[in-house]
Amino acid sequence: MSYQKLFRKEALRHQYKSQEFGESVIQQPLLLDKALLIMVIAVCLLMSLAVVYPFVSTERLSLEAHESNYFPVVSPTPVVVERHLHPDGSRVNREQVITQVRTFDGVSRREQVDLMSASETGVYFSVINAGTSAQPFQPIAKILRTNEDHLFFFTLTGAKAKQLKPGQWVKLTSGHHQASGKVHSVIGPFQQGRINIGIQLQSAYDVGVLHPSAAVRLELSVKRNNFFALLRKEGA
């Protein structure tokens, strides 16, 4: 093979390599352009959704059970609660013995043991611990009024009435106790921003959320204004 042919063959080989390198250099910017285009499209879609659709978030409010849910168990004279005969959340019947107390007879100067009975049928909750004294007409226990509609009433403080509407689904939590239902009625606001609401609970609710002393949290879904609505609100 002559030197001329070898030189021509080597030149062709370098030419092919330079073409392959050029093609790879061209392909890499094209891939980067495609990736950037996809990212721009994704960002535009997210922005359009934020502009058109309202934001939905979960808001948590503190509430307490209203006194109208219960029958109070009271004594007209001072007593010392010896023991509660039923655990919290248990069902009791009318005239059923529920609490054992000690009273002091001022005339005979003697103590005696008395038994207190339920005035109505419902769910029993103790309010005063055993071994504690109770003043006249101070609630010793409370009996939850039960009804077929599972409708109970609560008091909210610091909430706005427009945040709650009849038919709105809500969730109640108190520790590990949970219940869900829908708002039946909204009454108020009253003094100090108090709002009374009726909630119709689903039948499979945990009665622990209805304990008179329970710290209950109400969770509801709130729709926030979209971007255009916020601009209109600021410009108004």
As a dihedral over the C-alpha atoms of residue 210, residue 61, residue 220, residue 215, rounded to 10 degrees, the angle is: -20
Under 8 Å between Cβ of 164 and 220: yes
Residuewise pLDDT in 10s, the chain (236 residues)? 554 554 455 544 554 455 544 445 445 565 666 767 777 677 666 666 555 555 556 777 888 899 999 999 999 999 999 999 999 999 999 999 999 999 887 666 678 899 999 999 999 999 999 999 999 999 999 999 989 999 999 998 776 767 788 998 999 999 899 999 999 998 877 777 788 899 999 988 899 999 999 888 888 766 655 545 545 544 44
Under 8 Å between Cβ of 86 and 57: no
